[in-house]
Each structure stands twice: as structure tokens, then as C-alpha cells.
Amino acid sequence: MAESFRSGFVTIVGRPNVGKSTLINQIIGEKVSIISDKIQTTRHTIHGILTDEDMQLILIDTPGIHKPKHKLGDYMVDVSINTLNDVDLVLFMVNATEGYGKGDEFILKQLNKIDSPIFLLINKVDLIHPDELFSIIDTYKDTCDFEEIVPVSALNGNNVKKLLSLIKERLPNGPKYYEDDQLTNRSDRFMISEIIREKVLLHTKEEIPHSINVIVETMEQTSKQKMHIQATIITERQTQKGILIGKKGQMLKTIGQEARLELEDIIGKNIFLELWVKVQKDWRNKQSLLTQYGFDSN
């Protein structure tokens, strides 16, 4: 490895739905984190890893910082804020189409306590008139000591190359933390449950997207080209279970089909996906269940 090899950890924080996961996927060039138009899609920190000849960038996706209403929300906000310690750079992302709000104020309070360099990313600029950018920059520029203010479109990639070169400049000399071909720190099992959860988010609304969890029970290679996956979708109430199964099982069938097609594409095998739905009353507030499901900051 060259002596000048650079590496570092860069976290992306912001309110829910601003486009953090979209940016990570855009930079890594693969789906390492699921995306949806619902708030609070990301629930864990996820490392997206970009390695080239002279550097390794570890981008940390985080849950959107919001006012928690459950123990799960407490966990999500805690893990996001915890990433602010011990990183080489912080990217604070805001949505160009949303005004400055209490959520941003809360995040800025945290950002003003840390020493790491911080960039302000103004995302979704494809949705605004270029002239509107000035007033957005004006609103934020003095709220924190930003080293750079970068307007981007995470969705269409606009200005993302420029952002990447600004990030690279900030990486210190350091080792390779991950193998060259590793794109994420998360396991296949984790990604499978997330892809299934993404399809649930896509097809449900109101409280359901937030009150479900997906557990992969078994993953079994049944032949060279075939894999059998059994997963359970956890809901909080019997009525939600009914909606998720749908009339004559149609909803569950749609979710299963879409998840299967994407998983086959990712894993490169034929997949037999069996989905079950189970009620676990108030799981988002039960510490023992949260720990069992992997929401444990310790």
C-alpha cells in the first residue's frame, strides 16, 4: 500500500427524508441503504465503503434525527448523534424544498459542540429554481462554522463528483479498514430484511411503515442456484396484520414478489421467499424485543 494512502470516516446527518441514503447509494454506486418517500426509513447506521487506488472512504448513513415517540426512536436518534464523535468529517444535509425548522436547530446544537469539520449539503436542488439557492445558503451559513456549502442532487448525481473531491481532500493518511471489494459493513441477512422492509414501506401508508420490522428467520442454500429464505414481518396490531396480508393475501404476495425479484438480482440465485406476518404488541417500546431485533446501542 502506498505511504500516501488516505482513509477516513464521514457521517451524514440530517432530518428524516432529506436524502441521506440516496446520496450514499449514489456515491457508492450500489444500493447499500434502502430508500423511501416515508420518513424514518433508515433505522441503523450503515457504512457505505468506496475504495480506489489511493483512498478508502467510509460513509456512514444514519437514521434521520427527529423527536422520538418510542424507544425505537430514542435508539435511532442516539446512534445518529453518536456518529458525530470520532469521524474525520460531518456532512449535514438539508432539503432545499423544506424550510429551516426546529429539527435543524436541534441538530445544529449538536454540531456546534464538536470539533470535526462540517460541510452543509443542500440536497434536492433539482426541485428548486437556481435563484432560490441564495436565500437557503443565507439562512444556514451563519448557523455553524461550515467548511463548505455544497448544493447537490443526490437523486440525479448533480454536483456529487465535486462533493466527492472535496471530501477526499479532507481524508487523513490512514489504513484500509475494509477489503477492496467490500461495499458495506452490513451482512447479507441485514440487507435481505431491509429490502423486504423497503417493499412494505412502498406499499403501505400512515402508521404501518413505521410500526413494522422484518426478521430473516432462515437463509438456506438448497442447491447451487437456489436459496430458500423465510422471513417474518412484525406488526404492532392485528388490524395492521390484516392490511399487510391484504384481500386474499394480495398485499403480502406483491411485497414478496417485488422483494424476491430484487433479491434475486442482488444475490444472483433463484430465491424462494416465504413471508409470514406476526403481531408483537407495542414492540417499538419494549426494550427486550428491541435488543432481540438488533436495536441496541451497547
Q: The cell 422471513 sits on which residue?
A: 231
x/- mask, ligand GTP, residues 103-142, rule CB under 6 A, reads --------------------xx-xx---------------
Q: Establish if 20 lies at the interface with ligand GTP (CB under 6 A).
A: yes
Q: Which of 5, 16, 114, 258 binds ligand GTP (CB under 6 A)?
A: 16
Give me the least distance between CB of 223 and ligand GTP, in Å please.
36
CB-side neighbour CA atoms (13 Å) of 197: 25
Give me the least distance between CB of 64 and Mg ion, in Å please.
7
Q: How far apart are CA 215 and CA 293, in angstroms?
A: 7
Q: Which stretch binds Mg ion (CB under 5 A): 17-25, 134-142, 143-151, 235-243?
A: 17-25
Give me the least distance between CB of 250 and Mg ion, in Å please.
28
Of 34, 37, 65, 60, which is closest to residue 49 (Cα–Cα)? Answer: 60
Q: Pick from Mg ion, ligand GTP, none: which does 124 bind, CB < 5 to 8 A by kind? A: ligand GTP
Residue 250 CB neighbours (<10 A): 10
Segment 41-70, which members bind Mg ion (CB under 5 A)?
A: 41-42
x/- mask, ligand GTP, residues 139-168, rule CB under 6 A, reads --------------xxx-------------
Strands 213-223 and 226-235: antiparallel
Q: Which stretch binds ligand GTP (CB under 6 A): 19-27, 195-203, 238-246, 257-265?
A: 19-27
Q: Which of 7, 11, 13, 18 binds ligand GTP (CB under 6 A)?
A: 18
Cα 93 to Cα 14, 18, 39, 181, 240: the distances in Å are 5, 7, 15, 28, 33
* Gyration radius from the chain CA atoms: 20
Residue 44 CB neighbours (<10 A): 17
> Phi, psi (5° rounding) for residue 120?
-95, 125
Binding site for ligand GTP (CB under 6 A): 16-22, 35-37, 39-42, 63-64, 123-124, 126-127, 153-155
